[in-house]
Amino acid sequence: MKRRYFLGAMMAAITTGCSKLAETKPVAALLESSDDWHKAAHRLIGGRYSLAREFPPEDISPFFRGNGTIQPDSPKYLAHLANGFADWRLQVGGLVERPLSLSLAELHSLPQRTQITRHDCVEGWSAIGQWTGPQLGGILALAGLQDRARYVVFRCADRLGGDEYYESVDLIDAFHPQTIVAHSLNGHPLPVRNGAPLRMRIERQLGYKHAKYLTGIEAVESLDWIEGGNGGYWEDRGYHWYAGI
């Protein structure tokens, strides 16, 4: 019994020490920088466009769990929902030559990609589903990126704890062939809990990158001036911007 208390006391001391260390500037910076090294290593090993595994239909999980916002409650969203999203528009703007405002019908008329992929939540669980939609790269090509553009920001209709949800990726993930603006899950329009009517699929990264309830796509030069400045809702709350880990 005594030995167990000793082990517990040691662990508690380590816990306290680590917390104190993490409050100092250099250690905090070091801790937050590791996603850059992981990203560099991943792209060195696999190249920029390695493909996430695509599964056969029998691997699709019987249910696709929703997380974060599963029912946006703004009157505007509820009106769109009641209307079957007939007037939903996807705005494409920022550093582009030709800003676009696309209806769901227009998104359906673009070349479509269907993929059965695994969705990994940062919490640890996974679900497998079949997603359909146009490639983000095709939409960005229609709008024409300006030379200064370095990131693509996703704007969303949902709020979590009072703040707008948003996300961002760099141009490598934006133009990745499996990065699509999905309107369908398992052959049906997206359920509300999974992001109706549009959500992003960023297949080589964790679930929080896959922005739901998508209203806008914005090409930017820097993420510093957007919301909390870290490139995403969860990133502003301490999570890694590069979520391939």
Partner 1 sequence: MKRHTLATRLWHWLNVLALVVLFMSGLNISNAHPLLYWGKWGFEAKDAWLEVARFPGWATIPGYYSLAAARHWHLLFAWVFALSLLVFMIASLINGHFHRDLVTTRREWRWSAVRADIASHLSFDFHRAGSKFNFLQKLSYGFVIFILLPLMIFTGMALSPAMDANWPWLLDMFGGRQSARSIHFIVAWALLAFSVVHVILVLLSGPLGQMRAMITGGRR
**Closer CB to partner 1, 93 or 244, in the complex:** 244
Q: What is the C-alpha separation between 144 and 119, in angstroms, rounded?
A: 30
Minimum separation from the CB atom of position 225 to partner 1 (A): 22
**Closer CB to partner 1, 53 or 76, in the complex:** 53
Minimum separation from the CB atom of position 133 to partner 1 (A): 19
**Closer CB to partner 1, 22 or 141, in the complex:** 22
Minimum separation from the CB atom of position 134 to partner 1 (A): 21
**Closer CB to partner 1, 9 or 78, in the complex:** 9
**Closer CB to partner 1, 22 or 86, in the complex:** 22
Minimum separation from the CB atom of position 62 to partner 1 (A): 9
First to last CA, the chain: 38
Q: What is the C-alpha separation between 203 and 125, in angstroms, rounded?
A: 15
Minimum separation from the CB atom of position 244 to partner 1 (A): 3
Minimum separation from the CB atom of position 91 to partner 1 (A): 28
Angle at which helices 2-23 and 25-46 cross, to 10°: 90
Minimum separation from the CB atom of position 87 to partner 1 (A): 33
- Listed in sequence order, the residues at least 6 apart from 119 whose beta carbon sits closer than 8 Å to its beta carbon are 64, 126, 127, 128, 129, 207, 210
**Closer CB to partner 1, 4 or 98, in the complex:** 4
**Closer CB to partner 1, 194 or 215, in the complex:** 194
Contact residues for partner 1, defined by CB under 8 A: 8, 11-12, 14-16, 18-19, 22, 30-32, 34-35, 37-39, 42, 45-46, 50-53, 55, 59, 61, 63, 65, 118, 120-128, 203-206, 234, 237-240, 244-245
